[in-house]
Amino acid sequence: MEADRIKWNQRFASEDTYLGERPSPFLLREIERIQRVAPGKRALDIACGEGRNSVFLAQHGFMVTGLDISDVGLAKACRRAEKAGVEVEFQQVDLDEYCFTEQFDLIINFNFLLRELIPQEMQALAPGGVLIIDTIMASAELLASHNPTYLLRKGELRKICEELDGEILFVEEKTDEEMPTARVLFRKAG
């Protein structure tokens, strides 16, 4: 949606990184298990933003495609990959209207929630492929200022994954933090 592109371009406009220089702590913590479990090296970073997680995966041997709507974020992501000396294929797409055409061994989905995309992500995963979702949960404070459509409800992520064909390797909800989050590491059936 054009409004998303404009909003995120404004957020990414500063020289600084919006979500920091380091990859997501969950990805950092789980990278060895991900490398062990993923059946191959093709990775997809959904709503990759400024590319912190795409670049990290590329540095760990994955062939990464990063998708996002923000051309400003993607330009920063390209510079980050170049600086790190890795190759990542970044594509500007609107995920509200996107159809996957390739297969991936790993799909990551950090700080972005589009529930309708999850079945498509499952289809785009190779047998035995790994799906990671890590995003914000609803709380009374956040609901006052955020659209509930983009926030996970309590227990929702586990429930979604329990209905998919595969195995939950790890799931947690952190509700005691200022920004409550839920995350899952899921492996599609082989």
Ligand X SMILES: C[S@@+](CC[C@H](N)C(=O)[O-])C[C@H]1O[C@@H](n2cnc3c(N)ncnc32)[C@H](O)[C@@H]1O
**Amino acid in the structure at residue 75:** A
CB of 156 to ligand X, least distance (A): 18
CB of 53 to ligand X, least distance (A): 6
CB of 147 to ligand X, least distance (A): 12
Q: Which residues of 120-135 are buried (b: 16+ CB within 10 A; e: fewer)?
A: ebbebbbebbbbbbbb
Question: Is the CB of 149 or the CB of 165 nearer to ligand X?
Answer: 149
The closest alpha carbon to 37, from 159, 167, 173, 133, belongs to 167
Q: Give the H/E segment covering residue 86.
A: none
CB of 67 to ligand X, least distance (A): 6
Rounded CA separation 36/55 (Å): 19
Question: Is the CB of 108 or the CB of 126 nearer to ligand X?
Answer: 108
CB of 120 to ligand X, least distance (A): 13
Question: Is the CB of 74 or the CB of 164 nearer to ligand X?
Answer: 74
User: Footprint of ligand X on this chain (CB under 6 A)?
Assistant: 1, 4, 8, 19, 24, 47-49, 52-53, 68-70, 73, 94-96, 110-112
Question: Is the CB of 18 or the CB of 172 nearer to ligand X?
Answer: 18
Q: Which two tokens stand for residue 83?
A: 């600086």
Q: At what angle do helices 52-59 and 25-37 cross, to 10 degrees?
A: 40
Chain residue whose CB lies nearest ligand X = 49
CB of 21 to ligand X, least distance (A): 11
Q: Which two tokens stand for residue 147?
A: 């659209």
Contact indicator for 83, 18 with CB cutoff of 8 Å: no
State the Cα angle at 68 between 84 and 70, rounded to 5°.
95
Question: Is the CB of 8 or the CB of 62 nearer to ligand X?
Answer: 8
Question: Is the CB of 16 or the CB of 162 nearer to ligand X?
Answer: 16
Q: Which two tokens stand for residue 96?
A: 């509200």
